[in-house]
Chain A
Amino acid sequence: MMRGGRSLVSSPPAFSNDAKKLLVCTSNTVSVFSTVTGLLITSLEGHTALVTSVIVVPPSNPAAKVLCYCWTASLDGTIRYWDFSLPELMKTIDIRMPIFSMVIPSFLDVPAEENGKHQDLFAYVSIEDTKETQERTKASRRQIRKCNLSKSRLVGRLILGETRKPEVLTVSPSGKFFGIRNKCKLHIWKVLDQGSERAAVRKITLHHTKKITVIAFHPTQRIIAAGDVTGRILTWRGFGNRAFAASNGVADQKLINVQEDKPGVRDNDDADSCSTWHWHSAEVNVLSFSSDGSYLYSGGKEGVLVVWQLDTGKKKFLPRIGSPLLYFIDSPDPTLSSISCADNQIHLLKMPSMGILKTISGIKAPCFYPDIYEGLGNGIAFDQTAGIVAVRTENYCIQFYSLFDDRGVSEVQVCERNHQPGDDVIVTSVALSIDGSLMSTSEVKLAEEGIGGLVCLKFWDAGSQNKEFSLSTIVYEPHRDAGISAVKFHPSGNMVVSSSFGGDFKVWKCNHDVIQNDQMRQNFSWTCHSVGSYKKKPMTAAAFSADGSVLAVAAETLITLWNPYKNVLLAVLGETLTPIVNLSFVGKSDNLVAASCGSNPQLSVWNMSKLSVSWSYKLHIEAVASAVDLSSFAALVLLPESSKKTTFKGMDGVILLFNATDPVPTVIWSVRKAKGGALCFVQVNPSSVEEISIDGKAPEVLLAYMNGDHEYVLFDPYCKDAREVSVSQKEGLAAHDHKGQAGQYGYASIYGELPEFDRKRPEAPWVPSFPSDRPWETIFSGSSHNLPPLTKLCSAFLESLLEKRTAAAE
């Protein structure tokens, strides 16, 4: 079982101490990426729910920089301690309450163990108390608690605060303060130096009139910045002078003097001054001070990173990032930082110049359109041979995402415009040819009060070497002003059918001529080959048979069969109750699957030889997939509301695997978030067989299921018991890159890498007497005058022992 397509931006990532790795929370796991190559190195697996925080243990001295330890907290109620270089789980603390956020302020205050007295390490967690549901109101179940990590337990009944919603804790870089936002208020706690369990933590509150969205602490001074929903950034200086200083025994008199003029500070808040900056037009999501404290980074929905000079308020911009910003993380390396965007991309920035070095690209989230346009597919197309999925993104792109490698491959801008939220341009469908070299997309521009609507059909071809798609043909209004319901490729790739709600379908044919200028270049152009219609009924779905000789087009409730080359109507198949939305031929067999939706949804299988229905179910089908050379197909079924609660816990869909001739499904899997999902059989190409194996043998096809959030899973549908698919990562690639960039030390830095030790020489059979696999059994046998000299024998003997040990270790 291979999972992928997870969100990289559910929680803030963290840099390792040498800034060579980036730890990203990806649902149940933490993925470790190389910051140089942007590729996945390893992942920490163990949590059973969403990981909400990852904290890298900072080095206590410069030598400890190479250590790779981190704490993670998750919604499954555990806090875990990892060595992420191996990766290995070191420790698990179960507090049995979902943790929304965790901070560990006092790393620096924990003295090294050499003085003999080990001090406890404390974390502050934002949790939901699930136990005391009866006694307490729901409002106050979200609590801020303290946790003793060394002793693996929560600290007594100490509840620092209660909030209505789960809030994110923010800690100051110095580790002295941490705080949360609570609607229009800010709560700040001061961490006491002594890590005794019961020590009361002091708290102050700062007030604002708008809802606060994000806060940040200054690394050295007592400055806190907060962003609100209107886009303002507030900076309080000298917060907590009164409350926190009192504990340190400073005279009260000084405080009174301070109290006299507090420009901008609301009510009787404990701060010296408060200033406001306003540039953002919408809510501020990102707020972070630079490590020296002279700059403040802010960002929000506009996708612009703003750098404020703290003293003067002067601004610098990194514009057009293209998606709302979520997190900005500084790394220990002053030249590197990262921004996480809402479109599931993490950009690594080269710091002073703010150029983008690398992008860690996750699958982009599905885009939701208001339900005004009919025939909007889910915008997902699969390249079965290469294991690549093409998904539609919000900014009119098609993202190509490798299912096996779990990373973005490329992106194609379908519609040449910048994304603005109010615009009514929709990429409606995308189709890929079987070999993945041709693509067809359709887009629609909705009319403004009846004028100016436009439907566009575009054909793309991939260059032979770089796999970048380039536009070959645009067809404006292919079916006059009617929308396109389906676009399908012929198995040979040189024919496309597009069906429209306007009552006709068109078959497009590809003429390609080879232009031979400086390099060989193929020039594809598509022209309309034929037009067909059946009783002026809207054509709602289309499919080619596996050999390409039959074209099935659904005319609302009927299925019409055509010869695509001669444009001859072959047959018309019976009637369903509601319009058919999905047609698919089952492999090479003579069966056709039709799915209709609406009030009377139906999944029906038609026999082509008898031209009659074989069997049908009343099921709401979201997607149908059939492999090219198999006689079975898989259907993704949306469960009706009534059965959701009773039989399937939280699951809203099932995948059914049918043999086309048999109405009883062979296998059933239940899945979540099936709405907007997609299914596909993916062929395992021989080159990657050694990477994917199930119980040692390689499957021929895998079934890919992608849910409504574009998370996907790949599994072998025909493997009955073993569900575990072991995937050996492309370690070679990632590890090699990692080695290349990890700075060279000592000898290597002066003289370069040592040449590879030539292992072949000692293996050469210069001792002719032991050809056996287990030389220690035969090495000393035979007459003594036949034996080689003892020095040679001895080394061979020892070597054989060594070999045995390594074999055992494996």
Chain B
Amino acid sequence: MAEIRAEEPASTISKTFLIKPKLKSKPRSLPQTPESKYWSSFKSTKIPNLVSSISSLSFSPSPPHLFATAYSTSVSLFSPLSLSDGDVSPSSTISSFSDVVSSIAFRNDGLLLAASDLSGLIQVFDVKTRTPLRRLRSHTRPVRFVKYPVLDKLHLLSGGDDAVVKFWDVAGESLVLDLMGHKDYVRCSDCSPVSPDLFVTGSYDHTVKVWDVRVENSRSVLEVNHGKPVEDVIYLPSGGLIATAGGNSVKLWDLIGGGRMVYSMESHNKTVTSICVGRVRKENDGAESMEDRILSVGLDGYMKVFDFGNMKVTHSMRFPAPLMSVSFSPDCRTRVIGTSNGIIFAGRRKGKENVESGRVGNVLGFESISEPERRVLRPTYFRYFHRGQSEKPTEGDYLVMRNKKIKLAEHDKLLKKFRHKDALVSVLSRKNRENVVAVMEELVARKKLLKCVSNLDSDELGLLLTFLSKNATMPRYSSLLMGLTKKVIETRVEDIRNSDALKGHIRNLKRSIEEELRIQHSLQEIQDLGTSRASLVNLFRGLGNIHLPSLQTSLTPAALLTSASLILMFGNKSRMVFVNFF
């Protein structure tokens, strides 16, 4: 490790202090865990204006991991790469559907896409050309899901409202198996990541059935009861566990252990509509590893991240609409969430890592394209003079730290030279009101503010009055600025009378103070009502927007009185009533 040494202590003993505004109180927030930091690092992009509910989302297993969205009667393909550039238009759209598309599935090489619609038709498209290659029709009722087996390119699985799960041979457009057993709509299924023959389906009859196509009598090999209509089911990457979503809960089942429930996660407030497997990067003792999580979305607008290793919800994220579908890209860089009102919230992480979620071996990615070659530095380039500056220190190097340079603003420099009026004018022309107030406070500490005010010429006075008319009624600054306004008007009354421009400023000031008085008056009325009738207070509290502590802070009696006396000074007799009122 390179040794870091401070430079020889500077010859100054006392430090230079900048004129800083008062600190604002920060909202107290819980410290971020590394995991929630990870999930927050997905830079969110909104894809708006898709016509209706996003019924299904699916990522292509092959890079660059396009994702397909099913909404209304069309399917759109988006490129995650263009998303990070802020481009939210679909790269291509398939719209050869006669009814609402219910489900889509990519084949494991990402070349084919199967889509089902509510008319009962299943179509298989070539992803590149978007031409329908096969049309599978056998369902009599709307099809709710279509799935490609993970390890099989030839077959297809579908199910729908006719309570029948069908196993298709895609090439021959023929039905292989009809799997009967569900007593209500079949809504979802997932294929085992470890076997081409096993899959699981979930239905509104509260049951989840595990099927094996090798079983002769077309009966399910295992059945578990979720207890609520099942909305989604997935295999966890090991192939031995499944997760089912239904009602407000997500349940974990151990298939190898004979369908034993492992855990029930019940942190959603409304129906969980979709779940998928996500991955999070963990650093354990310096070694990076990936851990799997379950991402669940629900109609309550929350996405929850569930760590099924520790059985804990590790992150929770709120979206402004009921959520219908979620998907996580195999390279762990994109997660997309579809809402019921046609908006997709796509999140994309920066980073170069090309981690596959283990289903498909990846060979080539866009990231591996080499960067453009760096140009040789010549003395005519600007960078030539910076060469070597980004060099990292090697072990044993002495790193000499230079004392941090303090950047002085213009008003700081002027205040150091005791040019108080110039400092005030300089900061007034900068339009940063916090700094203006800070400089005014510093001048008060030096007992020079009123002298500055009396020395301002008419233009500068106009500047000051503009500032005061804008900010004097702000509760944060009113204790200082109200008093100052009064003093300014008292001391400079002659100049103001002689100048029309200044009179205009005074009119603005008067107007803003009148408005503030009106607001305070109405607030006071609300408070009076509240104090007399406790039920009304509860009503206001219930409204949520007005809460009483903020009322009290804005109603500082000093500010009220000064504003009232200001009004008096302008000769507005009708406002006397407020003084009495307070």
Q: Name A's B-contacting residues (CB within 8 A).
A: 318-322, 347, 353-356, 359, 395, 413, 416-420, 422-425, 445, 447-454, 474, 476, 481, 513, 515, 525
Contact = CB atoms under 8 A, between A and B. Distances in A.
Contacts of B383: none
B378 interface: no
A422 B441 contact: no
A413 B13 contact: no
A451 B17 contact: no
Nearest to A353: B11
A452 B13 contact: no
B11 A451 contact: no
Interface residues of B, number: 32
Contact of B450 (A355, A359, A448, A481): A448
B421 to A, nearest CB: 15
B419 to A, nearest CB: 14
Contacts of B12: 319-320
B13 A322 contact: yes
Contacts of A395: 14
Interface stretch (B47-55, B369-377, B480-488): B480-488
A47 to B, nearest CB: 31
Nearest to A347: B13
B11 to A, nearest CB: 5
B440 interface: yes
Nearest to B20: A416
Nearest to B10: A355
Contact of B13 (A320, A425, A445, A448): A320
17 contacts: A355-B9, A355-B11, A356-B9, A356-B11, A416-B18, A417-B17, A417-B442, A418-B14, A422-B447, A425-B445, A447-B444, A448-B450, A452-B449, A474-B23, A476-B22, A481-B479, A513-B31
A418 B8 CA distance: 23
B61 to A, nearest CB: 38
Interface string B434-447: 00000011101111
A445 B17 contact: no
A306 to B, nearest CB: 14
Interface string B531-562: 00000000000000000000000000010000
Given A355-B9, A481-B479, 12 more contacts: A319-B12, A347-B13, A354-B11, A356-B9, A417-B445, A418-B17, A422-B447, A423-B447, A448-B447, A449-B450, A451-B484, A452-B483
Contacts of A319: 12
A445 B444 contact: yes
A301 B9 CA distance: 24
B446 A420 contact: yes
Contacts of B23: 474
A416 B17 contact: yes
Interface in B1-39: 8-18, 20, 22-23, 28, 31
Interface of B: 8-18, 20, 22-23, 28, 31, 440-442, 444-450, 479-480, 483-484, 487, 558
| Chain A contact residues: helix, strand, loop or mixed | loop
Nearest to A349: B11
B427 to A, nearest CB: 15
Contacts of B18: 416
Nearest to A448: B444
Contacts of A445: 441, 444-445
Contacts of A321: 13-14
B441 A452 contact: yes
Nearest to A517: B31
Nearest to B12: A320
The B contact surface, by secondary structure, is loop
B480 A451 contact: yes
Nearest to A303: B14
Contacts of A353: 11
A424 B446 CA distance: 7
A449 B480 CA distance: 11
Contacts of B17: 416-418
B14 A423 contact: no
A705 B368 CA distance: 75
A356 B11 CA distance: 5
B309 to A, nearest CB: 21
A423 B445 contact: yes
Given A354-B11, A418-B16, A425-B445, A451 B487 contact: yes
Contacts of B22: 476
A423 B440 CA distance: 14
A403 B368 CA distance: 67
A513 B30 CA distance: 10
Nearest to B440: A452
Contacts of B450: 448-449
Contacts of A356: 9, 11, 13
The 7 closest A-B pairs by CB, nearest first: A451-B483, A452-B444, A322-B14, A416-B17, A320-B12, A448-B444, A322-B13
A442 to B, nearest CB: 16
A448 B449 contact: yes
Most chain A beta-carbon neighbours within 10 Å: one of B12, B440, B558 = B12
Contacts of B28: 525
Which interface residue of B9, B12, B444, B448 has the most chain A CB atoms within 10 A?
B444
A668 to B, nearest CB: 43
Nearest to B562: A451
Nearest to A511: B28
Contacts of A448: 444, 447-450
A388 B442 CA distance: 33
Contacts of B444: 445, 447-448, 451-453
A321 to B, nearest CB: 6
A419 B15 CA distance: 10
Contacts of A355: 8-11
Contacts of B8: 355
**Residue from A322, A347, A353, A452 whose CB has the most chain B CB atoms within 10 Å:** A452
Nearest to A395: B14
Nearest to B14: A322
B434 to A, nearest CB: 14
Contact of B11 (A318, A418, A420, A515): A318
A452 B9 contact: no
Nearest to A356: B11
A88 B450 CA distance: 63
Contacts of A354: 11
Nearest to A523: B31
A282 to B, nearest CB: 15
A322 to B, nearest CB: 4
A453 B479 CA distance: 9
B518 to A, nearest CB: 25
A452 B480 contact: yes
B11 A449 contact: no
A476 B28 CA distance: 18
A355 B8 CA distance: 8
A701 B14 CA distance: 37
A450 B12 CA distance: 36
A328 to B, nearest CB: 15
A525 B16 CA distance: 27
Contacts of A425: 445
B563 to A, nearest CB: 14
Interface centre among A320, A322, A354, A445 (most CB of B within 10 A): A320
Contacts of B483: 450-452
Contacts of A451: 444, 449, 480, 483-484, 487
Nearest to B26: A525
Contacts of A347: 13
B31 A413 contact: no
Nearest to A477: B479
Contacts of B9: 355-356
Nearest to B451: A448
A525 B28 CA distance: 10
Given A449-B450, A449-B487, A424 B13 contact: no
A371 B449 CA distance: 23
A428 to B, nearest CB: 15
B527 to A, nearest CB: 19
A447 B31 CA distance: 39
Contact of B441 (A420, A454, A481): A454
